[in-house]
Amino acid sequence: MGLSQIDDEDLDNERKSIEKLFKYSDTFDSTVFNSGAGSGKTYALIECLKYIISCHREDLKSHNQKIACITYTNVAADHIKQQLGVSDVVEISTIHERIWSIICNQKSAVLSLHIEKLNNEIELINNQLSSKPDYEKYRELNSSLQTHFLQLMYENKKKYNMAYNLNAAGFKAAMPKEVHQQYTELISNVSKFKGLVDKLFKRKRYIECLQKIENGEKDYKEVYYDAMYNRDRLDKMRISHDTLLEYGYKLIEKYPRMRQLVIDHYPYILIDEYQDTADIVVKIMNIVDQHAKKIKHDIFIAYFGDSVQNIYDTGVGTKLNQLHPTLSNVFKMYNRRSYSEIIDVANSVRNDEIVQKSIYSDSGGGSVKFYYGKSEEVSEFIGMCAKKWNAQNENTLHCMFATNQLVAEYSGFSKVYEVFKRAEVYQGIGYKQLNTELLSHDTVHLGKSQSLLFRLMKLYTEVRDERQPLRDIFPTDKYRDMSFHDLKLLITSLKSLDGNTLDELLIAIFNEYDTSNNQMYKLIIERIFDADEEVSYDGVLRFFLTSLYKTWDETLETKLIIQELLNMKIVELLNWFHYVHRNEKKKICYHTFHSTKGLEYENVAIILGKDFGQDKGLFETFFKEYGKSVDQISSKYEKGRNILYVAVTRAIKNLRILYIDDVGRDTG
């Protein structure tokens, strides 16, 4: 059968590395548990949790203290909860959840930071208005005319919003005569005019928000965070994921009392997949650790991960010891995931001081083969692998592509990918964000437009699933006040919203929104579309335009510019939604290299070329520089190695690699 027998000596050696970790926890010696893929880092983390619980549970309970276990994704958090079981002294969550749980009760301090951020944003807008060439004509107006212009546009805000999506000629025609009479120079360039008005409106919203905070108005007394949304709505008192970390860092840095609060409440903090953790999180941990030493309080911070598995640009990677110095180290050489044949390939790819061996004495029997071919042979290659391993829903073949486009194509949403790929924000260096903002399985990282589409497809799917709990469909508990009859009518109404394309679906949604008197329906739609101004069909078009394009052809209406987006088939959007949602009960599943991080599969097929998306020659560089000394290799080599290492180490037993370029023949 394989991977079932362990020699006592190997088990004893593995146990020693775990016991070293236990010893550091006993002495509150913050550490990093650094080891290769498949070594059981999560297993070590869970064992460490169990050890601390067994030794200190009663003491923790008596002092009202907890062990904090921080993960990179919700999926990882759920996995650890399942493996550990229920514990009343452990809190397992993503970093965003944990930071929010720490700072949310510090309402006045968070509010002060929010006021500071609002003022900074207002200052930023003022600086842009006073310096950017786009606003030169506005600067030529005296202060009274500037004030009058804002007042005029605000009085005509509805007209402005309705005309926003028209072409330049139509937009100009829709503006009040007074604009043409007094502000001819401003409206001569419609794109710059819109940019100016949007800036003025945003500044006004921020100023009014500050006034409401100062007046102590009902909904402006505290800040809140909602994991469903990935953009700030500062004027609505809601912060995004990045701003949450920013506030957390500032509070920890500024207030010793906040550091004390963390130390007193969480004497043990364990961080999973440290290499993917943002720099700012490690900085927070270092501040807390140093403060604990200063005041001679005990705290144990342990990082679990592997710097070679750092494949995200936002992760701390090799900078851990630079940002959090004086950490003790624990290494583990044993692999608990893969057969020896896979481990040998992984060691060869990694080619550094960490050389793994299987913990199992019966680890032979895996299969690895490397093929050369052409791009037109990919389907045949996948079919060959599926046939070889008798791929079924219960025995899935997992295919990994170095190009996102192929993942989208084979997963059934190629048009969705193409539309976003052509959007202006993803041109040039922006292309690197496309993988994360469109294909990430962690919705925290989806782009603004993609996040909206995800929420929309989530509702579309859930109202059609009779097994879906109502609490997951509705954004608030207000549905509990509705009668069963009214709930049934609401679900029927939501289910009836449909169309072949995104545009048809949007039209159906807003036709109902404009005519319905059902407040719960309106609330659901408002939560999904999360508009800066009023919720409307035109407002959604504008949101897509401004999120995906920085500049656009003024002779075209918005609908023409984003026509491809609106023409996307609902069936493709659903395929994309299910891909992001990891609905993988299929014979063959397709993945980007990044999306498989932390996962493992019995059968893996990798399709590889010399390039990695916009990273031209990434794998070509890896093969050419392979075996050279550290001072001779490039950062491109390290990036290629890390990505390839993560890819090959997903395999448990069977691995096939198809290389569809010729460079490997020359480089060996």
Q: Where are the domains of the chain?
A: 8-103+244-333, 107-215, 358-406+584-659, 442-581
Query: What is the structure's pLDDT at 665?
Result: 43
Query: What is the structure's pLDDT at 584?
Result: 62
Tokens of 197: 């008005």
Per-position b or e across 617-634, b if 16+ CB within 10 A of its CB: ebbbbbbbbbeeeeeebe
User: Residue 284: pLDDT band by 50, 70, 90 thresholds?
Assistant: very high
Dist CA 31 CA 451 (whole Å): 36
Positive or negative, the CA dihedral 193, 199, 203, 204 is positive
Residues 288 and 252: beta-carbon distance below 8 Å: yes
User: Left, alpha or beta for 112 (phi > 0: left; psi -120 to 50: alpha)?
Assistant: alpha
Is 38 among the annotated ligand-binding positions? yes
Is 539 among the annotated ligand-binding positions? no
Is 39 among the annotated ligand-binding positions? yes
Per residue in 580-617, pLDDT tens? Answer: 988 767 899 999 988 888 889 999 999 998 888 778 88
What's at 509, amino acid-wise? I
What's the average model confidence in pLDDT over 410-432?
A: 92
What's the average model confidence in pLDDT over 384-412?
A: 93
Per residue in 352-373, pLDDT tens? Answer: 888 999 999 999 999 999 999 9
How crowded is the C-beta side of 479, counted as CA atoms within 13 Å? 20
Considering the entire predicted model, what is its pTM? 0.87
Nearest to 365 by CA among 338, 391, 399, 387: 338
Dist CA 636 CA 591 (whole Å): 22
List the end-to-end C-alpha distance of the chain, in Å, as a whole number. 34
CATH fold for the domain made of 358-406+584-659: Rossmann fold (3.40.50)
Distance of CA 339 to the CA centre of its chain: 32
Q: Which residues pair with 268 in a beta bridge?
A: 67, 300
Is 317 among the annotated ligand-binding positions? no
Dist CA 576 CA 417 (whole Å): 9
What's the average model confidence in pLDDT over 100-127?
A: 97
Q: Which residues pair with 398 in a beta bridge?
A: 589, 604
Q: Which residues pair with 392 in a beta bridge?
A: 395
Per residue in 131-151, pLDDT tens? Answer: 999 999 999 999 999 999 999
Tokens of 633: 């290799």
Nearest to 2 by CA among 346, 389, 348, 336: 336
pLDDT, the chain, mean: 92
Q: Which residue has the higher pLDDT, 468 or 78?
A: 78
Residue with tokens 């020659």: 617
Query: What is the structure's pLDDT at 23?
Result: 97
Per residue in 235-282, pLDDT tens? Answer: 999 999 999 999 999 999 999 999 999 999 999 999 999 998 999 999
Is 41 among the annotated ligand-binding positions? yes
173, 177, 178, 180 alpha-carbon torsion, rounded to 10°? 50
What's the average model confidence in pLDDT over 506-521?
A: 93
Quote the DSSP letter at residue 315.
B
Tokens of 370: 């490397």
What's the average model confidence in pLDDT over 515-527?
A: 90
Rg of the chain over all Cα atoms, to the nearest angstrom: 28
Give the DSSP H or E segment for 514: helix 502-515
Strand order in the sheet with 90-94: 90-94, 67-71, 268-272, 300-305, 31-35, 328-332
Residues 116 and 79: beta-carbon distance below 8 Å: no
182, 186, 189, 195 alpha-carbon torsion, rounded to 10°? -130
Per residue in 178-224, pLDDT tens? Answer: 999 999 999 999 999 999 999 999 999 999 999 999 999 999 999 99
Dist CA 613 CA 432 (whole Å): 8
Residues 424 and 549: beta-carbon distance below 8 Å: yes
CATH topology of 8-103+244-333 equal to that of 358-406+584-659? Answer: yes
Distance of CA 24 to the CA centre of its chain: 32
User: Residue 25: pLDDT band by 50, 70, 90 thresholds?
Assistant: very high
Per residue in 480-509, pLDDT tens? Answer: 778 888 888 888 899 999 999 999 999 999
Q: Is 313 exposed, middle or buried (0-12, 13-18, 19+ CB in 10 A)?
A: exposed
Is 461 among the annotated ligand-binding positions? no
Does the structural domain 8-103+244-333 have CATH classification 3.40.50.300?
Answer: yes
Give the DSSP H or E segment for 171: helix 168-174
Per residue in 445-494, pLDDT tens? Answer: 899 999 999 999 999 999 998 888 877 777 666 667 788 888 888 888 99
